[in-house]
A and B are shown apart, each in its own frame.
Chain A
Amino acid sequence: MSTKIVMLMRKPPYATVYPAEGFRAMMGMAVFEVPLCVVFLDDGVYTLAKGQDPTGIDMKPLSAGFAALPDSGVTEFYVHDQSLAERGLVPDDLVMPVTVASAAEIEKVLAGATAVLPF
């Protein structure tokens, strides 16, 4: 099976370092042309929410970096539909176009991966 990595983003953007490190890992692997896609679910969907301004907690917004990932060759983004709905979000609330996917569809994406890296 050819390599296909899924980056699984489940955590809110600023409570821990994981979303930022996940982003850095994506950039690093993209540079080395590792094929990967990104799945956002649970509080991870907030990472893509528009209007982030974390300057009050002395952080930089993560959303701009994710929106720029296609420039680095990362073009597949899946967002769990129920996670969005539970948080009162719709695709227009996100900073970039994504594929909104059901749990069953995300399950297929995960099943097709050679590795899943959770952040």
Chain B
Amino acid sequence: MKFAVMVLDGPYQHQAADTALQFIRAARARGHEMVGVFLFADGVGNAQKFINPPGERNISQMFEEVAAAGVPVVACTACAKFRGLKPDLKTEHITLSGLGSLAGFVRTSDRFITFGD
């Protein structure tokens, strides 16, 4: 099955980003295709490369690993502007793009799943 995911929450404050990552891992481990991950609203905070939590899981690094593995992980350009996330502050493989990417993920997935309140 083809899945796409949208994340509306940033890292650490709520469980949403972690749950999204665990879902992505589990789906891929079972052979499902992840057509894309869209980081929307505060979700763009998961793309910050300078996240460095002492002794804890690194959520942006985990999204970066998903992106580096070939899954398109896209942070909303406008949301990034609202939050001061300049392109040079994001991790290498996560890209900044507009709502066209969201539309594409919605169109090409069999199931579109939102994480966040």
Near B by CB (< 8 A), chain A positions 1-55 give: 3, 5, 17-18, 21, 24-25, 27-29, 31-32, 34
Inter-chain contact A29/B99, CB cutoff 8 Å: yes
Interface string of B10-37 (1 = CB under 8 A from A): 0000000000000000000000000000
A76 to B114, CA, bound (A): 22
> CB-CB < 8 A to A25: which residues of B?
40, 99, 102
State whether A18 and B8 are in contact (beta carbons under 8 Å apart), knowing that A25-B99, A29-B99, A32-B100 are contacts in the complex. Answer: yes
State which of B8, B78, B103, B114 has its C-beta within 8 Å of the C-beta of A32. B103
A116 to B61, CA, bound (A): 28
Inter-chain contact B103/A29, CB cutoff 8 Å: yes
Classify the secondary structure of B's interface with A.
helix
> CB-CB < 8 A to A29: which residues of B?
99, 102-103, 106
* B contact residues, range: 20 to 34
Inter-chain contact B40/A21, CB cutoff 8 Å: yes
* A contact residues, range: 10 to 19
A24 to B111, CA, bound (A): 21
State whether A117 and B114 are in contact (beta carbons under 8 Å apart), knowing that A28-B100, A28-B102 are contacts in the complex. Answer: yes
> CB-CB < 8 A to B102: which residues of A?
25, 28-29
- Smallest CB gap from B100: residue in A: A32
- Smallest CB gap from B4: residue in A: A115
Inter-chain contact B8/A34, CB cutoff 8 Å: no
> CB-CB < 8 A to B100: which residues of A?
28, 31-32
- A/B interface sample: 29 pairs, CB < 8 A: A3-B107, A17-B41, A18-B8, A18-B41, A21-B8, A21-B41, A24-B78, A25-B99, A25-B102, A27-B99, A28-B98, A28-B100, A28-B102, A29-B102, A29-B103, A29-B106, A31-B103, A32-B99, A32-B103, A32-B104, A32-B107, A34-B106, A34-B107, A114-B112, A115-B106, A115-B109, A115-B112, A117-B6, A117-B106
